[in-house]
Amino acid sequence: AIYNQIQGTFMEKSFFEDIIQLSSGTRAYLRLEKQLFLDVLKTKMKTPSGKMGRKMIRERLSGKRVLIVLDDVSKFHASLVLEWREWFSAKTVITITTRDQDLPRILQVDSVFPLKLMNADESLELLSWHAFGEAKPKEEYNYLAKSVVSH
């Protein structure tokens, strides 16, 4: 929602969903960096891996004002976020979502907005809007939808 609300004010933007699903290691970093490069510069990254490749990426992205949204970040990805902050201009906005309450302190973020978890009724309504296009599930799917929400 935040991305959709402010993305129009940025020429370059990148949205990464469910980062926690990526495996750990340098391959995961490289995959994220390739996607960032493609989103921001609109070109595929053809660079050597390792320090040389990272230096080239940093030089090409340096000073750009970018909106980056990283969804579901873990401590493993904290070093990547810190590195990316150094690459871009001070006007770049990096927004992360995380379940790890220590991560904002580790990243020394500017702002933290804790979210209240939805109750069962709110969760059912959200699921229903996405699955059925209406506020409540159809009667024949009510039991299944409530089961999904409780899980």
- 66 or 29, which is more confident? 66
69's enclosing H/E stretch is strand 66-70
Q: Does residue 73 fall inside a structural domain?
A: yes
Domain identity same for 11 and 46? yes
Copy the structure tokens of residue 88.
């871009």
53 φ/ψ angles, rounded to the nearest 5 degrees: -65, -45
Cβ atoms within 10 Å, residue 16: 19
Instruction: Report the C-alpha gap between 17 and 66 in whole angstroms.
Output: 17
Task: Give tens-digit pLDDT for 13-62.
Answer: 999 888 877 766 667 777 888 888 888 888 776 665 667 767 777 787 78
Amino acid at 43: T
Domain identity same for 144 and 71? no
What is the average per-residue pLDDT within 77-96?
Answer: 83
**Closest alpha carbon to 121 in 134, 135, 131, 133:** 135
Amino acid at 99: R
Domain identity same for 71 and 124? no
Q: Domain range holding 57?
A: 2-107
Task: Give tens-digit pLDDT for 87-142.
Answer: 888 888 888 888 888 888 888 888 888 888 899 999 999 999 999 999 999 899 99
Q: Does residue 48 fall inside a structural domain?
A: yes
